[in-house]
Each structure stands twice: as structure tokens, then as C-alpha cells.
Amino acid sequence: MFGFIARRLIAMQERMTGQSADYMRDIYSGSPGVFWRFAFASSLYHYAKVLPLEVYSVAGLAAVRAEDCGPCVQIAVNLSLKAGVAPEVVRAAATGAVEELNDDNRLAYEFAYAVAARDIQAEGLRPEVERRWGKAGLAEIAFAVANTRAYPTLKRAMGYAQTCQRVVIGGVTADVRPREAA
């Protein structure tokens, strides 16, 4: 019974993200308890009440870009586009073209990327993030960064994040390698 439900959830995830979730099948076969805890936690991952959807998505894209250079970025791109974020904003965030982002999105991107990359620049950006969106907005960006890190980490540990890949955004291939790898 639980195996049937797990298979259905994995298939649903693959349809929603447009990417393979074979790593989740491996997790379930190795430890159903870990699978169910991760599945429950994943259901809590999107939470933006103060931040505009676009700003939250840009922060998530920045963080995933600092963590990954392939399938996880593609998933974040696909989910952002499905949520209604403009393709040009998604492309700019996914490729690191911060000069193409408006001021709010640029701030969210730079702060989230710096936090995910453990860059000291985050300290200088935090007061502006808090001034612009308050403690609630700061917490939402922190949550987006923390949530974004879970998938690449889990996939790397399970042996599924071994290579970079080009990401497709609106039918066009884009280079999403992190700054350090560019």
C-alpha cells in the first residue's frame, strides 16, 4: 500500500518538475522512513507571504545556482515558469545575468547567492533586505535558500548529481554554471 502511494508521489513529482526522480526511488528502496520524512518536508517548501512570487523565485534560483549546475536548476526553472514568473526574469536569474533584473530581484538574487555560497557579501546585503521586506521577508529568503539546498545535497549524496547540464528556458538552452565554474 505505502509503496503504491510512494510510486504515485514520485510520478507526480516527475510530471510537476519535468525531471527524473529516480533518486527518490532509490531513497524509498533503501529507507522508506527517510523517503516519507523528506516527502512531508518537501510539501512545506514553498512559503512566501511577504515577498512577491517573482522575488521569492529569484532567490530560490540564485541559491540553487550556487549549489547545482544542472537538473536542480532545471527543476527550479520549470517550477518558476509554471508559477507564472516571466521567462526573461527566470532566464536572468538562472544564468546569473543580474544586470537584467530589477532592483528588488537583483537584491534578492545577490543576497540569496551570497548566503548559499557562504560569501561574506551577505552580511552587507542583509540590512537592505530587511529594510525592504522586514524580518518576515528576510526569513522567507532564508527559507528559500535553505529549502533549495536540500535537493542538490540529497541528490549528490545518493550519486545523482554528478554532471552539469545545459538548462532549457522557454525552449532556449542556457548556461547556468555557478560563477566560480564559469
pLDDT band at 181 (very low <50, low <70, confident <90, very high): very low
The highest-confidence range among 57-71, 78-92, 119-133, 146-160, by mean pLDDT, is 119-133
Report how far Cα 87 is from the mean position of its chain's Cα atoms.
16
Is residue 45 pLDDT above 50, yes or no?
yes
Taking the model in full, what pTM does it have? 0.81
Q: Please write the tens of the pLDDT for every residue from 111-134.
A: 999 999 999 999 999 999 999 999
Closest among 83, 79, 102, 100 to 91, alpha carbons compared: 100
- CATH number belonging to domain 46-181: 1.20.1290
Domain ranges in the chain are 1-44, 46-181
Report whether 149 contacts 116 (CB < 8 A).
Answer: yes
SS3 177: coil
Q: Provide the pLDDT for residue 179.
A: 56
Q: How many helices (H) and strands (E) does the chain have?
A: 8, 2
Integer-rounded Cα radius of gyration of the chain: 16
Q: Provide the pLDDT for residue 163.
A: 63
- Residue 172 phi, psi (nearest 5): -115, 135
